[in-house]
Amino acid sequence: MNESYKIHLSEKEMPDAWYNILPELPTPLAPPLHPATGKPVTPDDLKPIFPDALIAQEMSSETWIEIPSEVKEIYKLWRPSPLHRARNLEKALGTPARIYYKNESVSPPGSHKPNTAVAQAYYNKKAGVKRLATETGAGQWGSALSFACKLFGIQCTVYMVKVSYYQKPYRRILMHVWDGEVYPSPTDRTNTGRAALAKNPDAKGSLGMAISEAVEDAATHEDTNYALGSVLNHVLLHQTVIGLEAQKQLALAEDKADIVLGCVGGGSNFGGIALPFARDKIKGKSNVELIGIEPASCPTLTKGQYRYDYGDTAGMTPLMLMHTLGHSFEPPGIHAGGLRYHGDAPVLCNLVHSGLITARAYTQNPVFEAALLFARTEGIVPAPETSHVIKGAIDEALKCKETGEEKCILFCFSGHGHFDLAVYDDYLEGKLVDYEYPEEKIAEALRDLPKFPTGI
């Protein structure tokens, strides 16, 4: 057995291709529907905002899609990311389980987000696009895309939810350091923004509003495209580099995962680590348990309905078949900003629906108790989002302690908490509230949504 704390791959051992699960799903993925016609979206519908290469990936039937060498060169600034064996955490828990975490916090922006940001910037640059527009809530995605655009020499415009723009200045500064232009949304740069400001000059903004502004910016400027940091098939595709590396690293450690976990907001880090393992499961080669962890305040996979819904609050994006709390869902003020999406990646929802993936929800206080134990044993301070999966992994390890099972537990350490320390202060001072989103509100939010057959 390997005695190391960290398992490194050399840059040459980085995967040459991303894994595309679409052609191997046990149930085919239902297509996205056009919001105006209710008909399946065509590639042409997406051309105003995405380059052809990404549209092709979104619908590809190839199992493996080569990672371009230009993307790999940028990945090499921090990839392959290390796989850590959490020996100190195991000792503190007294568990016979082996706990591994794939450390995506080593990227310059501090999370897994640049895995897709770099790929998206590359394909847009190659298509002659001069500028990418996007939205950001807490700032993780906006900073990752600013970083990626700078490295490929294209411009990045970020619509940042106004309340976060002023409350989280560090993330905004980080985007400026990477030369991104950042505007507090709603802005006067778009029709949507101007209409919102006319209605309420003090509007605090929302992720839905920022998405609408970014999409409008991209759709109305010839040289500008739009980029999304989660949910879509091509985003999860790019993130599979996480799971593919982890599989090689576990093999080097002469180990094999029994349980794989990730936190779930839109689903990109969990999809990234889990899909390559799901492949083995689909092919009957493994019995690995795949568990998505979400906040009880935004319990999409655990309490949401599986049906077609819009991707944004305003109902302007295509409808997707997914577990949803209703696109009018108003997230309560929890600290894990990256986990507040009303839906989830259709690919993940498909796998949950077919029973290949399970999900679990936690409230905030037990999550930060777990995060603190992690920081005090393994050292690294986890992001609030990442703290959710740590709680999940610890619970699995404690089950092993009870049963005596020596399971191998792997989770995705999606990001560090260096820009989120205020929440630790709140936790230590007992200020965090445990809140479970009420099921009645979900039913109510979905009451008026038109139903589409799931088998389109």
Distance CA 435, CA 333 (A): 10
Least distance from a second copy to the Cβ atom of residue 121, Å: 13
- Examine residue 251 and tell whether it contacts a second copy (CB under 8 A): no
Least distance from a second copy to the Cβ atom of residue 168, Å: 11
Which of 103, 170, 109, 164 lies closest to 335 in space, CA to CA? Answer: 164
- Examine residue 150 and tell whether it contacts a second copy (CB under 8 A): yes
- Examine residue 354 and tell whether it contacts a second copy (CB under 8 A): no
Least distance from a second copy to the Cβ atom of residue 32, Å: 33
For the chain, what percentages of helix, strand and coil (3-state, to nearest 5) are there?
45, 15, 40
Which of 19, 98, 22, 52 lies closest to 350 in space, CA to CA? Answer: 22
Among residues 33, 53, 117, 174, which is the contact residue for a second copy, using CB under 8 A?
Answer: 174
Least distance from a second copy to the Cβ atom of residue 29, Å: 34
- Examine residue 78 and tell whether it contacts a second copy (CB under 8 A): yes
Beta carbons within 8 Å of 173's beta carbon, 6+ residues apart: none
- Examine residue 370 and tell whether it contacts a second copy (CB under 8 A): no
The size of the interface with a second copy (CB under 8 A), counted in residues, is 42
**Is residue 319 within 8 Å of 308, Cβ to Cβ?**
yes
Using the contact rule CB under 8 A, the part of the chain among 119-127, 144-152, 159-167, 181-189 near a second copy is 144-152
447 residue type, one letter: R
Least distance from a second copy to the Cβ atom of residue 94, Å: 16
Among residues 372, 395, 435, 452, which is the contact residue for a second copy, using CB under 8 A?
Answer: 372
Using the contact rule CB under 8 A, the part of the chain among 75-83, 131-139, 220-228, 393-401 near a second copy is 75-83
Q: Which is nearer to a second copy, 80 or 331 (CB)?
A: 80
Assigned token pair, 52 = 């052809």
Distance CA 258, CA 293 (A): 16
- Examine residue 381 and tell whether it contacts a second copy (CB under 8 A): yes
Cis omega (within 30 of 0) for bond into 186: yes
E strand or H helix at 292: strand 289-295
Within residues 413-452, the interface with a second copy by CB under 8 A covers 418-419, 421-422, 424-425, 428
Q: Which is nearer to a second copy, 6 or 39 (CB)?
A: 6
Least distance from a second copy to the Cβ atom of residue 132, Å: 16
**Is residue 320 within 8 Å of 346, Cβ to Cβ?**
yes
Distance CA 100, CA 89 (A): 10
Among residues 10, 37, 69, 287, which is the contact residue for a second copy, using CB under 8 A?
Answer: 10
Burial class (CB in 10 A: 0-12, 13-18, 19+), 104: buried
- Tell me the helices (H) and strands (E) count for the chain, helix number first: 18, 15
Beta strands 98-103 and 319-324, pairing class: unpaired
Q: Which is nearer to a second copy, 176 or 441 (CB)?
A: 176
- Examine residue 169 and tell whether it contacts a second copy (CB under 8 A): yes
Distance CA 209, CA 226 (A): 14
- Examine residue 198 and tell whether it contacts a second copy (CB under 8 A): no
- Examine residue 219 and tell whether it contacts a second copy (CB under 8 A): no
Q: Which is nearer to a second copy, 286 or 377 (CB)?
A: 377
- Examine residue 373 and tell whether it contacts a second copy (CB under 8 A): no
Q: Under DSSP, is residue 91 helix (H, G, I), strand (E, B) or coil?
A: helix
- Examine residue 107 and tell whether it contacts a second copy (CB under 8 A): yes
Cα atoms in the Cβ-side hemisphere of radius 13 Å centred on 189: 23
Among residues 38, 376, 441, 444, which is the contact residue for a second copy, using CB under 8 A?
Answer: 376
Among residues 19, 178, 226, 362, which is the contact residue for a second copy, using CB under 8 A?
Answer: 178
**Is residue 290 within 8 Å of 348, Cβ to Cβ?**
no
Within residues 301-330, the interface with a second copy by CB under 8 A covers none
- Examine residue 378 and tell whether it contacts a second copy (CB under 8 A): yes
Among residues 43, 47, 170, 441, which is the contact residue for a second copy, using CB under 8 A?
Answer: 170
What does each C-alpha distance from 153 to 220, 398, 426 come to in angstroms? Answer: 22, 48, 40
- Examine residue 132 and tell whether it contacts a second copy (CB under 8 A): no
- Examine residue 111 and tell whether it contacts a second copy (CB under 8 A): no
Q: Which is nearer to a second copy, 233 or 414 (CB)?
A: 414
Count CB atoms within 10 A of the CB of residue 254: 8
**Is residue 319 within 8 Å of 206, Cβ to Cβ?**
no
Least distance from a second copy to the Cβ atom of residue 150, Å: 5
Q: Going along 8-105, which residue ranges are E strands? A: 17-19, 64-66, 83-85, 98-103
Assigned token pair, 423 = 């929440």
Residues that bind a second copy (CB under 8 A): 3-6, 8, 10-11, 76-78, 84, 88, 106-108, 110, 147, 150-151, 169-170, 173-174, 176-179, 372, 375-381, 418-419, 421-422, 424-425, 428
